[in-house]
Amino acid sequence: MELLDRFSDEALWQGFVTEKDRQVLAVLYDRYLTLVYGVCLKYMGDKEEAKDAAMEVFEKLYETSPSQKIEKFRSWLFVVAKNHCLMKLRSKKGIQEKSAHLFMESTEVVHPLDEEETDLTPQLQQCLEQLKMEQKGCVEMFYFNKKTYEEIALKKSIDVKQVKSHIQNGKRNLKLCIESKR
């Protein structure tokens, strides 16, 4: 097991699809169970449902066709987990709208703000000025003043969830603004 721990996700996955060895898959369970459970908990909202969904995700992995090419296991597993939870939610009555909303909040493309060296270009500065006050304040404090969510929440006297929400929404609007100016 320890030997297997040294391999990359992709190498382990390739080993699993070739040999169908569940021991190899178990290493990937260990690596990602917490994250998958966290994602499922976010979408399902209920612990037991999230547990079931997380385990179903890993069962799905076992049934995945070996012919399926997976470039980056981590990103692929995230999409699989998220889609599985959304499918489960969709099977429930009246959940479609909520899940669609949740799906929109997710962003998989690296945002300019998340790049290693965040240069405040004139274009970025111009778009930042166009954000709503709450969004602008939270983004500036997080990316430029290097404050944690909690510190921002304390400073702004708002909830951590609101801080995160303002940052997420601000990032999305910035991205849209930058793309519109290109």
Partner 1 sequence: MSKPKNDIDPSKSQEEKDLLRYLNEEMSSKEKYAFERKAENDPFLYEAMEGLQDVDVKLLAKDLADMKKKLARSENASFYSFSNVWKIAAVVTLLLVAGFSAWRLTMSPRLEENASAETLAADSSLAINDPAPIEMDETEEQADSAKATTDNTSYQQNLVAESQPVETPKPIADEEKASPQVTGAPVAVADEAELSDEIAVAEETPDLTLADDIEFAQAEESSQGAGLALQETEKKDIATETVPQEVAAPKLSELNAITATDVSSGAAKAKKEADQASQPVARSARIATTTQLATPVAGLESFRRYVTDNQQKTADMVAGEVQLTFSLTSQGAPQNITVSKSLCESCDQEAIWLLQTSGPWKYNDGITGTPLSTITIQISN
User: d(Cα 35, Cα 105) in Å, to the nearest integer?
Assistant: 18
Q: Binding to partner 1 by residue 164, rule CB under 8 A?
A: yes
Closer CB to partner 1, residue 49 or residue 134? 49
- Of how many residues is the chain composed? 182
Find the shortest distance in angstroms from Cβ 89 to partner 1. Answer: 13
Q: Binding to partner 1 by residue 46, rule CB under 8 A?
A: no
* C-alpha torsion sign, points 181, 177, 142, 115: negative
Find the shortest distance in angstroms from Cβ 62 to partner 1. Answer: 8
User: d(Cα 104, Cα 90) in Å, to the nearest integer?
Assistant: 15
The binder of partner 1 chosen from 17, 24, 77, 174 (CB under 8 A) = 77
Lookup: tokens for 132: 């709503």
Q: How far is CA 61 from CA 22, 73, 106, 158, in A?
A: 10, 11, 22, 40
Q: Binding to partner 1 by residue 31, rule CB under 8 A?
A: yes
Name the residues that contact partner 1, by CB under 8 A: 22, 26, 29-31, 33-43, 47, 50-51, 54-55, 58-59, 62, 74-75, 77-78, 82, 106-108, 110-111, 113-114, 142, 146-151, 160-161, 164, 167, 171
